[in-house]
Structure 1
């Protein structure tokens, strides 16, 4: 009787034990299916990653090679070379002089002219000081436009034994050409003063500077930097070379108050008097 009761009580214990084993087995199966994959699967994954990485590198190299090849073909083809050049902004320089200074000519690679324009501008100013700024723009596959601004040619002067062109930025340029602009006198041994005067007169509007016939450097004890401007309208202007550009701006308004030809004195203040009148 006791044995039967013992066996009756042990049956549920066996069931619970069996159920627990089954539960543990399920957990082990789930764990094996989780992130901990077999070594064989890991090896296959690594191989796939390496293959994808190799494909990407090969693809990048092919793109790079293709771009280099296209650039090389473009350089060889005539389409990469300049055939047409237009120039604007030059009033005193000829188109040929601009081309020579900038080295932008038919046959040059168009991309070197466009990408290297800062260098070209620097070189152009050295070759021809009349070039102030230079800008290159593309106007087609084989056409470029060159826009420049100039340092105006004010006139010419004798410095030492050589004749120089005087530019509006104060630079002096050796020249053999004759021009009918301002005739600078008295600067044979005064190069620095001539450069200062060029910078000053470069501030003037062309309508005023074109009215100057000649300028004479005539320093005195009282006015050590005196310059005399002889105007095309018959007037004479006394000024100081260090500020003549600033004061000559008022010359047109002074003319409206003059009753005839005479002297305009800009050395100290600004006033005028007719020829023959008592010197003030």
Structure 2
């Protein structure tokens, strides 16, 4: 009985040894293929208006970092970047050999507003982030008293094509007896737009075509219907 038990024990030990050997062989093969110890030779960053250096610093990844710092950690790194940079909405990372490609989607700059002496940048949802001053890449909001209204206008502006969005220099809240939602948009091309908050996103899509049909700068009125006339008419 003891001899049989001894034989079984030896067999079990031998089997375990083979399993261990197989495990280490597979692990070694994975490491050989994965090569986590290799440094990254190229790190390319596509981040729109956000400086490449900022993205690399906040991720802690740059040329010379190692593959093991990225491989299988893409989701973690994306969350890390979004938590550190309020301008980032989405992150894609592609690791191939010793090359890493990072694509960062930036939250749309819907403009700037000054509240209680401080400047804030508005994202596509109208959320505010403190900045020193406007950078010229979005409209300045003036005469707004309601945060809710600012957010609504920011969402409308963010939905516009980039070309139109960046052509808006200033947005003034200017209600009158005929329109309590009236907005006045001062365009960088020299025109002035009268619009309503509720239809801003829909009607501003036609602005480029209307502006191109004008012989000289003037007013584009989008409050009721859409028409234009030159200054002084």
Pairwise TM-score range, normalised by the shorter structure:
0.7 to 0.9
Listed as ranges, the matches of 1:48-67 within 5 Å are 54-64=13-23
Paired residue for 1:212, among 168, 173, 181?
168
- Deviation per CA, 1:191-235, whole angstroms, max 9, x where unpaired? 332222222112222221222121112234543332210112221
> Do the aligned residues in 2 keep the contact of 1:159 with 1:191 (CA within 8 Å)?
no
2:148 aligned partner: 192
- Superposed CA deviations along residues 158-215 of structure 1, whole A, max 9, x for unmatched, are 023321112345332111144123222123x433322222221122222212221211
CA distance in 1, matches of 2:179, 2:8: 88
- CA distance in 1 between partners of 2:174 and 2:76 (Å): 41
Quickly say closer, same or farther: Cα 1:178–1:232, change in 2 above 3 A.
Answer: closer
- Which residue matches 2:130? 174
1:227-246 CA distance string (max 9 Å, x none): 21011222111112343122
Q: State which of 183, 186, 194 in structure 2 corresponds to 1:230.
A: 186
Identify the residue that residue 95 of structure 2 maps to in structure 1. Answer: 138
Give the gaps of 5 or more residues in structure 2. none
- Equivalent position SS for 1:136: strand
More helix by share: 1
Q: Which residue of 1 aligns with 2:84?
A: 127
Paired residue for 2:48?
A: 91
C-alpha RMSD of the superposition: 3.5
Identify if the C-alpha distance between structure 1 residues 178 and 260 changes in structure 2 by more than 3 Å, giving closer, same or farther: closer
Unaligned runs of 5+ in 1: 1-42
Match runs of 1:200-279 below 5 Å: 200-220=156-176, 222-277=178-233
Structure number with higher relative contact order (C-alpha < 8 Å, ≥ 6 residues apart)? 2
Indicate if the aligned counterparts of 2:111 and 2:121 stay in contact, CA closer than 8 A. Answer: yes
CA distance in 1, matches of 2:82, 2:198: 25
TM-score (norm 2): 0.79
Structure 2 SS opposite 1:79: coil
**How big is the shift at 1:267?**
2.2
